[in-house]
Amino acid sequence: MTNRTEHRQTHDGVALSHLALDDGGRAARAGVVIFPSVMNRGPVEEDHGERLVGLGYSVLLADTFGAELIGRDRDTMFGEMNRNLEDRAAYVQRLSAILDFAKALPAFDSGRVAVMGFCFGGLCALDLARSGADFQVAAAFHGLLKPPNFATGKIIPKVVAFHGWDDPMAPPEDVVALGQELTEAGCDWQIHAYGHVAHGFTNPKAHEIGVPGVEYNQVAAARSWDSFTDLLAETLR
């Protein structure tokens, strides 16, 4: 049975509400921080977190927007995302603080940590890696692939992006640019592109968001999950 613990964190005056998942044991385990989609943490993140606990990892479902912005409507959350995109350098400081918070949890082995994210959370995982933060794996699932607009550091983690080729929020030129950026950075990187697959492919209820080009794809969801967990096993075990 999964142990669930709510945690509060305040960063730069913003109250954040995280959910930690673990097996309830005393031993620290390799950990995974999950950055949510534009809709903030919810059922999709919790489902992936539960699956990771079942594989032997400790998990922090991060609130990257603020406790008052959990369960809000689409228009509110897209507005918040766009506001945060205006100053990614400032936002990455919040992401770094969340990473430090996770590493300090008793259930986390601070030397074996992965960060994964969906949609906007995928961009957050990439930006945290770009910032020079010290962790082991950065994974973006149908992430936004906008190039950094802030001073970057050495990329330490292995980086993987799982991408739907028909994703209107990350056109092919963004995918190529990401590969070029990561090559120039000299890091260990992979990009998995799935043909005839749209944005949001890991979310069974993606269509409910009501945005064109956002659609669940069971095959791409399964393939990306298998590849991600293989990378975790390779890197964190």
Q: Tell me which amino acid residue 179 is.
A: G
Q: Is the pLDDT of residue 210 over 90?
A: no
Separation CA 20–CA 51 (nearest Å): 13
Separation CA 83–CA 115 (nearest Å): 23
Span 116-128, average pLDDT: 98
The domain limits of the chain are 3-236
* pTM for this prediction: 0.97
Span 8-37, average pLDDT: 97
One DSSP character per residue, 16-84 reads: EEEEEEE-S-SS-EEEEEEE--TT-S-HHHHHHHHHHHHTT-EEEE--SS-GGGSS--HHHHHHHHHHH
Q: Is the pLDDT of residue 152 over 90?
A: yes
CB 147 within 8 A of CB 175: no
Pairing verdict, β 3-11 and 14-22: antiparallel
Separation CA 117–CA 42 (nearest Å): 13
Q: If pLDDT is split at 50, 70 and 90, which confidence band does 100 have? A: very high
Separation CA 122–CA 141 (nearest Å): 6
Separation CA 110–CA 4 (nearest Å): 19
Q: If pLDDT is split at 50, 70 and 90, which confidence band does 237 have? A: confident
Compute CA distances 57 → 25, 120, 178, 192, 216, whole Å: 11, 23, 29, 23, 26
Percent with pLDDT over 90 in the chain: 97
Q: Is the pLDDT of residue 44 over 90?
A: yes
Q: If pLDDT is split at 50, 70 and 90, which confidence band does 26 have? A: confident
Separation CA 73–CA 54 (nearest Å): 31
Count CA atoms within 13 Å of residue 125 on its CB side.
33
pLDDT of residue 208: 87
Span 117-141, average pLDDT: 98
Separation CA 162–CA 221 (nearest Å): 9
Span 29-38, average pLDDT: 98
Span 149-173, average pLDDT: 97
Q: For helices 120-130 and 88-103, what crossing angle results, to 10°?
A: 80
DSSP helix/strand/coil, 209: helix
Of the candidate CATH numbers 3.90.79.10, 2.60.320.10, 3.40.630.10, 3.40.50.1820, the domain formed by 3-236 belongs to 3.40.50.1820
pLDDT of residue 113: 98
pLDDT of residue 54: 97
Q: Is the pLDDT of residue 70 over 90?
A: yes
